[in-house]
Amino acid sequence: MRVFTAVIAIAAGILVLGGYFLPALADVQTLLLNWAVILAGTAALVGIFNLVSVHSDKIRRQEKGSGYSILLLISLVVTFLFAMILRPDHEAMDIILNGVIIPIEAALMGLLTVSLLYAAIRLLRRRADFMSLVFLVTAALLILGSATLPFGNMPVLGTFIRPWITQVLALGGARGILIGVALGTLTTGLRVLFGADRPYGGN
Amino acid sequence: MNELIIILASAVLLFAITLWKRKSPANLREIPALTRLYRTLGLSIEDGTRLHISLGSGSLLDARGGSALAGLALLRHIAERTSTSDKPSVASAGDPTLGLLTQDTLQAGYQAAAVEELYVPTSGRVTGLSPFGYAAGAMNIMKNENVSANIVVGHFGSEAGLLAEASDRENMILIGASDELSGQSVLFANTQDALIGEELFAAGAYLGAGASHIASLTLQDIMRWFVILALLGGAAAKLIGVI
């Protein structure tokens, strides 16, 4: 069975990859990608069942934080029922999205600003080395250089140092990192294509 | 067509290097975060505490799938090693397809350790479908499930800061790697030893996941030299007016 799944996965991978280079395989590639999109949609449903199962277990075992699990399940069921009865494009569903989910995510983003500032302050205590110092000095220079002042950009810092750091040093470094990530992605993809890594069931 | 040549050459090289019998073990440079990860694995088994592996919200249907696959390879190894622990590892994902593969990978790890009966399907979870929703769900695991260390490997943006902050508040070890630049900078500021760039893809080789992982690292080094030579050659050619 494991060999069978591996053969199917490798064949599908090769056909999709081949579709980018060989026009004859383009139709097969589109078909396989469409199947993948349908499966991903089904996986979302399975993911929700998984979420319900995990939180139901927590409530049944009265684990720490199970109050949040009750809240989550009630919200999930109410939202699901509303969406089924009213249809997803109803105004009430927009209110749930724009009035609850988006503000909560925005609040988390706001919390992140504070926690990042706190992390930067503690960085030297956690790791007192040259690179931490470079990181902090660069961040401070960029924040100062981006500051909006009544008289315009901060002289030298805003007009010369900040653009030089972002356009030369940071851009060069970012490209280097992204090339490294791309090479890593390529080799990881090839390992999966060879069947050396099989994240689809089997050893 | 250039892309096809690069892919084919890489495939042939990876295949050849994987099959090549080394006379001595591969000499890997020390990466402090991965040394810490190796130590953390052993400690969690001894202490009877849990590891939480966060795989991020990278979808397998787009370019972010590479980091998700690297995270799954790491999870497979961790699952095998910690499957017999009193508190087996728990993994979270922010994408439904990745969530399914997380469960499958955990089960494969238990099978490899010959303790499949101990596998609990809810140890692989989808905690949210948006990056911040996912982070909020993962923070809940850190707080309430006797977790001693968080291994954050995959596609993370700035939401990694929330996971890092939660780890810090609970005095947990945090080992983090992301393929996203914003995620990397957040993790660099928040962890003792951060994994930068392609180091994310090296974890399997350092944890002894097999010859193919070592071969991957060798291939990455070879490709990197080609890229460096191409960049230098291009710059020199531009300088002398050839291109």
Question: What's phi and psi for A156, nearest 5 deg?
Answer: 65, -60
Mean of all residue pLDDT scores within chain A: 88
**Virtual CA dihedral for B34, B38, B39, B43, nearest 10 degrees?**
140
**What ipTM was reported for this prediction?**
0.89
Asked whether residue B117 falls in the same domain as residue B223, the answer is no
Taking alpha carbons only, the member of A107, A112, A81 closest to residue A96 is A81
Q: What are the residue boundaries of the structural domains of chain A, listed by start?
A: 1-86, 91-123, 127-203
Asked whether residue B22 is domain-assigned, the answer is no
Taking alpha carbons only, the member of A7, A126, A146 closest to residue B192 is A126
- pLDDT 10s digits, B99-145: 999 999 999 999 989 998 899 888 999 998 889 989 999 998 988 88
Nearest to A37 among B61, B72, B190 (CB): B61
Asked whether residue B147 falls in the same domain as residue B223, the answer is no
Asked whether the beta carbons of B150 and B121 are under 8 A apart, the reply is no
- The verdict on a CB contact (< 8 Å) between A47 and B108 is no
- pLDDT 10s digits, A70-100: 999 999 999 889 888 988 888 888 888 788 8
Q: Tell me, what DSSP letter sits at residue B151?
A: E
Residue B88's contacts (CB-CB under 8 Å, 6 or more residues apart) are: B50, B79, B82, B118, B120, B123
Asked whether the beta carbons of A178 and B53 are under 8 A apart, the reply is no
Q: What is the pLDDT of residue B197?
A: 87
In this model, does residue A29 exceed pLDDT 90?
yes
- The verdict on a CB contact (< 8 Å) between A51 and B126 is yes
Residues in B touching A119 (Cβ below 8 Å): 161, 164-165, 168, 186, 189-190
- The verdict on a CB contact (< 8 Å) between A108 and B136 is yes
A191 → chain B, closest CA residue: B212
Best probe of the B interface among A166, A190, A203, by most B CBs < 10 A, is A190
Closest-CA distance of chain B to residue A182, Å:
8
Asked whether residue B103 falls in the same domain as residue B133, the answer is yes
Asked whether residue B16 is domain-assigned, the answer is no
Count Cβ atoms below 10 Å from residue B144 Cβ, excluding itself: 16
Could you give the CA distance from residue B120 to residue B123 in angstroms, rounded to a whole number? 6
Taking alpha carbons only, the member of A177, A191, A6 closest to residue B215 is A191
Asked whether the beta carbons of A145 and A155 are under 8 A apart, the reply is no
Averaged pLDDT, B209-237: 91
Q: What is the pLDDT of residue B177?
A: 92
Q: Residue A118 to residues A66, B33, B200: CA-CA distances in angstroms?
A: 30, 22, 25
Counting the structural domains of chain B, the total is 2
- pLDDT 10s digits, B216-226: 999 999 999 99
In this model, does residue B1 exceed pLDDT 80?
no
B221 → chain A, closest CA residue: A183
Asked whether residue B142 falls in the same domain as residue B181, the answer is yes
Could you give the CA distance from residue B49 to residue B32 in angstroms, rounded to a whole number? 22
Mean of all residue pLDDT scores within chain B: 89
Nearest to A21 among B4, B136, B164 (CB): B4
Torsion over CA: B33, B38, B44, B50 (sign)? positive
A68 → chain B, closest CA residue: B140
Using 50, 70 and 90 to split pLDDT, how confident is the model at B51?
Answer: very high
Taking alpha carbons only, the member of A8, A7, A28 closest to residue A16 is A28
Q: Tell me, what DSSP letter sits at residue A152?
A: B
Asked whether residue B111 falls in the same domain as residue B223, the answer is no
CATH number, domain at B152? 3.40.50
Asked whether residue B217 is domain-assigned, the answer is yes
- The verdict on a CB contact (< 8 Å) between B189 and A63 is no
In this model, does residue A201 exceed pLDDT 70?
no
A–B interface: beta-carbon pairs under 8 A: 197
Q: What is the pLDDT of residue B237?
A: 94
- The verdict on a CB contact (< 8 Å) between B63 and A183 is no
Asked whether residue B145 is domain-assigned, the answer is yes
Domain carrying residue B240: 210-243
Could you give the CA distance from residue A124 to residue A104 in angstroms, rounded to a whole number? 32
Nearest to A135 among B164, B188, B223 (CB): B188
Q: Per the structure block, which two tokens stand in for A103? A: 């503000």
Nearest to B189 among A40, A105, A135 (CB): A135
Asked whether residue B240 falls in the same domain as residue B139, the answer is no
- pLDDT 10s digits, A114-144: 888 888 888 888 888 888 899 889 988 888 8
Asked whether residue B78 is domain-assigned, the answer is yes
Residues in A touching B124 (Cβ below 8 Å): 50
Asked whether residue B158 falls in the same domain as residue B234, the answer is no
Asked whether residue B145 falls in the same domain as residue B205, the answer is yes
Query: Which has more confidence, A196 or A183?
Result: A183
Averaged pLDDT, B58-78: 88
Could you give the CA distance from residue B29 to residue B8 in angstroms, rounded to a whole number? 28
Could you give the CA distance from residue B174 to residue B162 in angstroms, rounded to a whole number? 12
Residue A170's contacts (CB-CB under 8 Å, 6 or more residues apart) are: A138
Residues in A touching B184 (Cβ below 8 Å): 177
Using 50, 70 and 90 to split pLDDT, how confident is the model at A184?
Answer: very high
B6 → chain A, closest CA residue: A186
Q: What is the pLDDT of residue B227?
A: 93
- The verdict on a CB contact (< 8 Å) between A194 and B186 is no
Nearest to B97 among A40, A120, A203 (CB): A40
